[in-house]
Amino acid sequence: MDAAQEAHNREAFRQAVVNTLERRLFYIPSFKIYRGVAGLYDYGPPGCAVKSNVLAFWRQHFVLEENMLEVDCPCVTPEIVLKASGHVDKFTDLMVKDEKTGTCYRADHLLKDYCKDKLEKDPNLSAEKAAELRHVLAVLDDLSAEELGAKIKGYGITAPDTKNSLSDPYPFNLMFQTSIGPSGLSPGYMRPETAQGIFVNFKDLYYYNGNKLPFAAAQIGQAFRNEISPRQGLLRVREFTLAEIEHFVDPDDKSHPKFSEVASLEFLMFPREDQVSGRAARRIPIGEAVTQVGLLDVCHLVSSCLLPGILFSILTIIHNSVCSGIVNNETLGYFIGRVYLFLTELGIDKDRLRFRQHLANEMAHYAADCWDAEIECSYGWIECVGIADRSAYDLRAHTDKSGVPLVAHEKYPEPKEVEKLVIAPVKKELGLAFKGNQRMVVEALEAMGEEEAMEMKATLETKGEAEFRVCTLDKVVTIKSNMVSISKEKKKEHQRVFTPSVIEPSFGIGRIIYCLYEHSFYTRPSKDGDEQLNVFRFPPLVAPIKCTVFPLVQNQQYEEVARNIARALTTVGISYKIDITGTSIGKRYARTDELGVPFAITVDSTSSVTVRERDSKQQIRVNVDEVASVVKEVTDGVSTWADVLWRYPTHSS
């Protein structure tokens, strides 16, 4: 199958899924009667039920299982908080405007579309030009406003709707802005993530946890992103539900007591190195991916095996050792494993799920490591969960801005004499030398590790100046000896005070649900073979409705039995749908298969009824009195369908 055919099939599959979802009200474009708003969607009844099942399972799987501290903070957030987090300054996309109509576009989207279009449709494209365009696509995310603007001008890209010329790209902040209170003097934003609400509460949560690390806080809630021009349907929206975990941990000890419980899980991982070298994702046990095999072990092996015949084995060992230690630490690895379990239990296909490590240029400078759970759907591989070790960045940022130290303490058994590195930048001299960049230089100096600092001290003493790379400025500056004093001081310390690292698994609930819809959808021929029927193979855990109740024919006796069963189902907390229309039983099955209802009870006598399983279409006969508890058993996962199939007589219709 060629690429065009494949793209066509993907598109057709997506259309079939989306049509079913929209027709059965899994979702509804919001404010539809007013012609809607791009990027806003409602969850209709079955979609809303799926969402609340997914969230309930998330609570069970993460919050309850790990004893996390769940909090619930407002969406309206004052500016200062998002100034500290960096969102006010950096949560932007580059935008261009149609110079006549003022319509806005995302600059990178236009350039991407142009390149793709040329590559796919221009038969006269030279090999050289094609290579250039492919290169542009590869580096698209790294282009600055100037570079993007130059490309857009260079290729003569115009506004797609009007062909008018476009403005230069400029940053547009993606937060919805508002004003808190009546004065107009307190700017606020709708939060772009739920994490900040947890960080600002660190001190109280640490206290609540008995001043002990590690602990995790969690939050489920709405987040907002005022997209310039939303595309990709349900995947890129302006308001969405996030479920976030902030696991606070001692930076010197990121081991996890329950790591062994996930260590043997094996799934698709896509480490940085493999991406760069063009290899495919591969199955690696997470236990192996986390283990730190020291370089010495490998060297030892190499030097002790001098026979050329076993060179191949050595290379294999070296190659395998690449897997080792690719995940920065056990806690990060533990969460990767737990996320894998969460997604696959929901019904995500494990062969279309991979964990991709961020490339160096994707990762924030402070992050220690970052892995995305990506799910493959008709739009390609989609980031659905991000699992990042954000080091101490967030807590430090809020400590600096608020003046409230967000730190943890560890008491020493007895006071310790410590030699402490003291780096004292001389702000006046630095100010004179670096003007507006002073703060960046100061921060970079203060952030030096012991080794680097002592090296600089030596250089300054011998040469009077030292070259120094400031990451945040992306350049090398010259530090003179009057600009900083570096020394070591001896002190008695009773406790260690430190800023915890935070490991953050962050779940885009809407994206997970959309991918789940695609992975659960299939079609099969109707009984008479003249049409294709849609089915969602949701596991009972996520199915919006667990069970339907149908009287086989319209009569009062059967209806009464159906109503009694319905009441029994409500009592045991099983959601059901009762259908007493006279429609044929086949049609009624088809209707509910399309909603992914796993079990159907058909009332065809007053003493016993049939229970049908959606995917196998197998049926069993169960007594009226028992049926609610049988359905509950298989729905709650206490028994499987195979179990009950053994226990009850099968029924063939």
Residues 239-298 that bind its own copies (CB under 8 A): 239
Which is closer to its own copies, CB of 44 or CB of 251?
44
Q: Are 476 and 468 in contact (CB under 8 A)?
A: yes
- Crossing angle of helices 509-520 and 330-346, in 10° steps, is 50
Which is closer to its own copies, CB of 227 or CB of 429?
227
Which is closer to its own copies, CB of 321 or CB of 402?
402
Q: CB of 293: closest distance to its own copies in angstroms?
A: 32
C-alpha–C-alpha distance, residues 106 and 140, integer Å: 12
Q: CB of 546: closest distance to its own copies in angstroms?
A: 11
C-alpha–C-alpha distance, residues 119 and 3, integer Å: 13
Q: Is the four-CA dihedral 449, 452, 458, 461 of positive or negative sign?
A: negative
Of positions 14, 16, 73, 317, contacts its own copies by CB under 8 A: 73
Give the helix/strand (H/E) hosting 379: none
C-alpha of 535 from chain center: 27
Of positions 95, 166, 336, 568, contacts its own copies by CB under 8 A: 95
Which is closer to its own copies, CB of 103 or CB of 344?
103
Neighbours of 208 (CB within 10 A): 12
Q: Does 223 sit near its own copies (CB under 8 A)?
A: no
Q: Does 437 sit near its own copies (CB under 8 A)?
A: no
Q: How far is CA 308 from CA 299, 311, 596, in A?
A: 16, 5, 60
Q: Does 638 sit near its own copies (CB under 8 A)?
A: no
C-alpha–C-alpha distance, residues 572 and 566, integer Å: 10
Of positions 7, 38, 311, 642, contacts its own copies by CB under 8 A: 38
Of positions 13, 16, 30, 266, contacts its own copies by CB under 8 A: 30
Q: Does 208 sit near its own copies (CB under 8 A)?
A: yes
Phi/psi for 151 (5° steps) reads -65, -45
Largest CA distance in the chain: 101
Of positions 2, 102, 126, 277, contacts its own copies by CB under 8 A: 102
Which residues ranging from 546 to 585 are in contact with its own copies (CB under 8 A)? 570, 573, 575, 577-578, 581
Which is closer to its own copies, CB of 208 or CB of 412?
208
Of positions 14, 16, 37, 251, contacts its own copies by CB under 8 A: 37
Which residues ranging from 172 to 201 are in contact with its own copies (CB under 8 A)? 172, 176-183, 185-186, 188, 190, 197, 200-201
For β-strands 501-508 and 239-249, DSSP reports them as: antiparallel
What is the spatial order of strands in the sheet that 547-551 belongs to?
A: 576-578, 547-551, 599-603, 608-613, 619-623
Hey, what are 249's tokens?
Answer: 């941990």
Q: Does 78 sit near its own copies (CB under 8 A)?
A: yes
* String of contacts with its own copies for each residue 398-427, x by CB under 8 A: x--xx-x-x---------------------
Q: CB of 452: closest distance to its own copies in angstroms?
A: 31
Dihedral (Cα; 122, 124, 126, 130), 10-degree rounding: 10
Which residues ranging from 154 to 173 are in contact with its own copies (CB under 8 A)? 172
Of positions 33, 138, 306, 360, contacts its own copies by CB under 8 A: 33
Q: Does 76 sit near its own copies (CB under 8 A)?
A: yes
Which is closer to its own copies, CB of 190 or CB of 373?
190
Which is closer to its own copies, CB of 81 or CB of 456?
81
C-alpha–C-alpha distance, residues 172 and 94, integer Å: 6
Angle (nearest 5°) at CA 241 between 236 and 244: 110
